Amino acid sequence: MRGVIVCIGDELISGRVEEQNSRFAMSRLSPLGFLITSAIWVGDDMQAIAGALDQALDQADFVVVSGGLGSTEDDITAKAAARHFGLEIAESRRMIENLRECFEAVGRQVPPGVERMAQLPQGARVLDKSCAGFMLTTPAGQPVYFLPGIPAENHRLLERQVLPDLMRLFAPQEVTVSRKFTVFGLGESEIAQRLDGLTAGYPEVSVGYYPVFPAEEVLLSTRTSAPHEAEVLLNELYAEAAHRLGGKVVAQGEQSLAGAVAQRMIAEELTLALAESCTGGLIGHLITGVAGASDFLDRGLVVYSNRAKMDLLGVEARVLEKYGAVSAETAAQMAAGARLESGVDLGLAVTGIAGPTGGTPDKPVGTVYFGLAAEGGVKTVHRRFMGSRGQVKMQSAWTALDLLRRYLEDHAFLHRP
């Protein structure tokens, strides 16, 4: 079954807001066997919305529309849909009840003006427990789902109502089986070179490469009516891919690098303290974005100044004077100090020059040192990153987490050159 996604909003086509709903919808629909042929973005304009619906319905068995269902004057999707399908606008008592329940759930009354969200095309089917969301069916039997643009609400309705509805209506005979993994430390061209010939003999399997800064995602996928056999094949191909990539696979599926680290830390019952300088707490932010981080993360210190490094971590003044704040020696003492002062199993530290200023001929912008302290000693790593200040910080945070991941996979890593 073929589908089209339509995303509506001036904020999307102007670039003010990053569109998230189409990618989420495709990631959920494709594995179930629904082929998404295109995604269309248009602004809050009646004519543009009508044109997008025409284009979508010409090529699709179903359409998912996102955005323009709010209570402000520029939220015109319901009105545009009514005009396009030749329907009158009428107040939906069901939507009024839904709105009241939504606001009562957070201890509020429905604000004035919000009830205009209940003005829907006549005959629209209101989605259950939705503050904004309805469905229309064309004379040709094509379902058109109208979902709110707010990602959390959009994703909830898509998973709980749209997907089950589509499965009931169409029941695809084939599904898409995929295996995704994240690679860090190799560029796309080198990954592709190492995986060259991986699927030889399996023309039904495709390999996709997707940059997700600062890493790359690789997706092995196939459409099949025999999902179990396909999963076995993709698992075998993944094992071969991981072998060829030589330890650069840092996460699998939807798991993040931080999630993979957290899983290992919890499994080994280890504790961690962070000492961050140039990343300014970004490593801690990535870790605490994972549920269960409190099981292993004891504390995170942002030690930007030399004084903070000395006062909070015990970095020696002579080390700072001789080698500088951005050095392997300082990174080592930061990591060891974080571990010693907090009484944890592991101390992880980073110090560097994120730019755009502060670099020198000996230590240019992008120079970063990392330290990992464990019971068996301290390991330091040096990297040079390119890019903006934000990009240097993100690459540094990922490198620090990857340093920890590599230690957790093999503790002997601490003593390797």
CATH no. for residue 223? 3.30.70.2860
Over 90: is that where the pLDDT of 128 sits? no
pLDDT for 352-391, tens place per residue? 999 999 999 999 999 999 999 999 999 999 999 999 999 9
Kindly state whether residues 179 and 228 are assigned to the same domain: yes
Give the pLDDT score at 109: 85
Give the pLDDT score at 263: 98
Percent of the chain past pLDDT 70, that is, above it, reads 100
- Tell me which of 71-75, 197-201, 240-244, 350-354 is least confident: 71-75
Which of the listed residues 170, 196, 217 is the one where a domain comes to its end? 170
Over 90: is that where the pLDDT of 131 sits? no
pLDDT for 67-81, tens place per residue? 999 999 999 999 999
Kindly state whether residues 116 and 133 are assigned to the same domain: yes
Kindly state whether residues 326 and 182 are assigned to the same domain: no
Separation CA 76–CA 69 (nearest Å): 7
Average pLDDT over residues 229-253: 98
Q: Domain count of the chain? A: 3
Cα 102 from chain centroid?
27
Give the pLDDT score at 110: 82
Kindly state whether residues 51 and 166 are assigned to the same domain: yes
Kindly state whether residues 98 and 143 are assigned to the same domain: yes
Average pLDDT over residues 386-414: 98
pLDDT bucket at 324, cuts 50 / 70 / 90 = very high
pLDDT bucket at 114, cuts 50 / 70 / 90 = confident
Which of the listed residues 151, 170, 189 is the one where a domain comes to its end? 170
Kindly state whether residues 244 and 298 are assigned to the same domain: no
Give the pLDDT score at 46: 96
Q: Which long-range contacts (CB under 8 A, 24 or more apart) does 131-140 make?
A: 131/98, 131/99, 131/102, 132/69, 132/70, 132/95, 133/69, 133/157, 133/161, 134/78, 134/92, 134/95, 135/165, 136/81, 136/85, 136/87, 138/57, 138/85, 140/57
Which of the listed residues 252, 272, 305 is the one where a domain comes to its end? 252
The pair of three-digit structure tokens given for residue 75, joined into one six-digit string: 């939220």
Over 90: is that where the pLDDT of 60 sits? yes
Kindly state whether residues 300 and 388 are assigned to the same domain: yes
Separation CA 133–CA 286 (nearest Å): 33
Over 90: is that where the pLDDT of 52 sits? yes
Kindly state whether residues 310 and 262 are assigned to the same domain: yes
Tell me the CATH number at 313.
Answer: 3.90.950.20
Distances (CA, A) of 228 to 38, 240, 251, 255: 28, 19, 22, 22
Kindly state whether residues 241 and 128 are assigned to the same domain: no
Q: Which helix or strand (DSSP H or E) is residue 338 part of?
A: helix 328-342
Kindly state whether residues 18 and 160 are assigned to the same domain: yes
Kindly state whether residues 93 and 153 are assigned to the same domain: yes
The pair of three-digit structure tokens given for residue 136, joined into one six-digit string: 């229309």
Domain that holds residue 218: 175-252
pLDDT for 245-275, tens place per residue? 999 999 999 999 999 999 999 999 999 999 9
Tell me the CATH number at 29.
Answer: 3.40.980.10
pLDDT bucket at 130, cuts 50 / 70 / 90 = confident
The pTM (predicted TM-score) of the whole model is 0.85
Kindly state whether residues 281 and 198 are assigned to the same domain: no
Give the pLDDT score at 106: 87
Specify the 3-state DSSP secondary structure of 308: helix
